[in-house]
């Protein structure tokens, strides 16, 4: 890691904190009040990733959810979640009135993926960047410059390997000083950042640092990061700041995994199940706040 930052002491994320700014729904609600999200990804062989993210976005409260898929053989409907609107990735990026683009889930890293990511960076929508969007960002300094220049909110969700690529170091360095890592990424890229892992660390754009204490080893399975991306996008679409959306999603995501583990076993836990428990918990927390 080329730059070291004095370690700060992170504060614990709490349920009271994350629900303090969650909006109550008026009786005359309609879908337009809760934002529009477009999830961009799904190269060949990876269509499940953006679908997992989009289903989480819908079930955590966004008003309208589109999915833009890269694969030539991509489906035109999600039969398990037909409320989602499926398009080609290029068409989804041209949709009007999108509040949030969630980019990277199953995106791939080829030139087509890079062009789509470039288009998303040039949009006025808020961004949630995961997976291959982060890998592309690590290899394209010009796109990093575009990201830094943006004024609209952006959340990055790297795991240690992706963080290492962004900071041009190895994973051991990242894990040796996770606090410095997440703080450095937030400062360098002018974004809200969650460094995923046991005790996920969240750095806000204004320099605050938090550690999450929810979650368990059962969440070590494919698709969990896609679901977290979708949840963050859902909360930004509903009017939370990027920082507050990140903190709520990270804490709720882990809490949902904990609730699932209490009811069943941790072995074999799936991202789809975590989405369902997250929706249940959010409604329970909202009714008490």
On whether the CB atoms of residues 55 and 246 are closer than 8 A, the answer is: no
CA gap 25, 34 in Å, rounded: 9
Q: Please report which helix (H) or strand (E) contains residue 212, including its range.
A: none
Please state whether the predicted TM-score (pTM) of the whole model is above 0.85. Answer: yes
State residue 7's pLDDT score.
56
Q: Which residues contact 149 (CB under 8 A, 6 or more apart)?
A: none
Q: Is the pLDDT of residue 2 over 50?
A: no
Kindly report, residue by residue over 174-197, the tens digit of the pLDDT. Answer: 999 999 999 999 999 999 999 999
Nearest to 194 by CA among 262, 246, 126, 254: 246
**DSSP codes, 45-98:** T-THHHHHHHHHHHHTT-SEEEEEE--TT--S--TT-TTSEEEEHHHHHT-TT-
SS3 3: coil
At 108-127, the pLDDT tens digits run 999 999 999 999 999 999 99
At 8, is the pLDDT very low, low, confident or very high (cuts 50, 70, 90)? confident
Q: Does the structural domain 11-19+29-288 have CATH classification 3.40.1190.20?
A: yes
For residue range 74-110, list pLDDT tens digits in order.
Answer: 999 999 999 999 999 999 999 999 999 999 999 999 9
Q: How many residues are present in the chain?
A: 289
- For position 289, what pLDDT does the model report? 78
* Per-residue pLDDT tens digits for 149-172: 999 999 999 999 999 999 999 999
Phi/psi at 117 (5° precision): -65, -40
What are the DSSP calls for 122-182, one per residue? TSSSEEEE-THHHHHHHH-HHHHHHHHH--S-EEE---HHHHHHHTTS-HHHHHHTHHHHH
Q: For 240-289, how does the pLDDT look when each residue is reduced to its tens digit (9 = 90+)? A: 999 999 999 999 999 999 999 998 778 999 999 999 999 999 999 999 97
* Residue whose pair of structure tokens reads 């904990």 in the numeric block: 258
Task: List the chain domain ranges.
Answer: 11-19+29-288
Task: Please check the confidence at residue 4 and state whether its pLDDT lies above 70.
Answer: no
């Amino acid at each position: 890691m080329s730059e070291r930052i004095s370690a700060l002491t992170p504060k614990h994320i709490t349920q009271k904190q994350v629900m303090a700014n969650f909006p109550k729904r008026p009786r005359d609600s309609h879908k337009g009040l809760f934002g529009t999200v477009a999830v961009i990804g799904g190269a060949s062989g990876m269509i499940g990733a953006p679908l997992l993210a989009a289903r989480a976005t819908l079930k955590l409260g966004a008003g309208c959810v589109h999915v833009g898929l890269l694969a030539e053989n991509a489906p035109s409907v999600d039969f398990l979640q037909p409320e989602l609107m499926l398009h080609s990735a290029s068409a989804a990026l041209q949709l009007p009135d999108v509040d949030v683009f969630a980019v990277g889930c199953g995106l791939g890293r080829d030139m087509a993926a890079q062009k789509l990511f470039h288009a998303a960076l040039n949009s006025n929508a808020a961004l949630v960047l995961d997976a291959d969007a982060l890998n592309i960002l690590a290899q394209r300094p010009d796109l990093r410059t575009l990201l830094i220049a943006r004024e609209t909110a952006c959340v990055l969700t790297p795991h240690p390997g992706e963080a290492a690529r962004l900071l041009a170091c190895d994973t051991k360095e990242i894990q040796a000083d996770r606090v410095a890592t997440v703080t450095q990424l937030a400062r360098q890229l002018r974004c809200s950042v969650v460094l995923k892992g046991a005790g996920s660390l969240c750095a806000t754009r204004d320099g605050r640092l938090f550690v999450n204490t929810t979650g368990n080893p059962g969440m070590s399975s494919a698709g969990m990061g896609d679901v977290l991306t979708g949840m963050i996008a859902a909360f930004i679409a509903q009017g939370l700041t990027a920082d507050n959306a990140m903190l709520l999603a990270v804490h709720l995501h882990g809490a949902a995994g904990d609730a699932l583990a209490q009811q069943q076993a941790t072995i074999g836990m799936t991202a789809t199940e975590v989405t369902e428990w997250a929706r249940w918990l959010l409604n329970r927390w909202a009714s008490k706040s």
